[in-house]
Amino acid sequence: MIPVIDLAPYLEKRPGAREAAAAELGRALQDIGFFVIVNHGIPSSLIDATFAEARRFHAQPMDAKLALRMNEHNNGYMMLGRYAVWTSDVNANDKPDLNEAFFVKRERPPDDPLVRPGLVAQPGVTAPRPPHCRTDRAPDRRCCRVEPVL
């Protein structure tokens, strides 16, 4: 059964809700490997718009996507056949996965505790920005709108 984690108690600032949600998340990741989050407060319209942008990005010609190829920090476009899980105890994987993805990470300031030597989150290391990327939001709430490259 897929674990369902309800964030409503945490968002309502109920006592102990943070710890309970963290424990549920830990169990889901250790025992199953994935989960569903409900009552997270993200508007459906934003979720729908995000999926629409992903469909639009992946519908572009390959050369447009490759212009944003994944860099050494795993930011950017990963083409089909570039990834395989070799650590499975269930299956001897001998072929790469047939999926593609566009990876982005939250930008962090240099004083963020996660920006330390040895971690992937490094200041100023972000995904390559598509030609029509929007940055009209506050620096901590950036939004990247990928436009087709003609």
Q: What is the pLDDT of residue 123?
A: 43
Per DSSP (E only), the strands in the chain are 4-6, 36-38, 76-78, 101-103
What's the pTM value of the predicted model, to 2 decimals?
A: 0.59
Q: What is the pLDDT of residue 131?
A: 47
Q: What is the pLDDT of residue 45?
A: 95
The mean per-residue pLDDT over the stretch 13-40 comes to 95
Average pLDDT, the chain: 77
d(CA 24, CA 6): 9
Task: Please give the structure tokens belonging to residue 50.
Answer: 């995000």
pLDDT in tens, 42-98: 999 999 999 999 999 999 999 999 999 887 777 889 888 777 666 667 767 777 778
pLDDT in tens, 102-126: 888 777 777 777 666 555 444 444 4
- Helix then strand then coil, in percent of the chain rounded to 5, is 30, 10, 65
Spell out the domain ranges in the chain: 1-41, 46-150
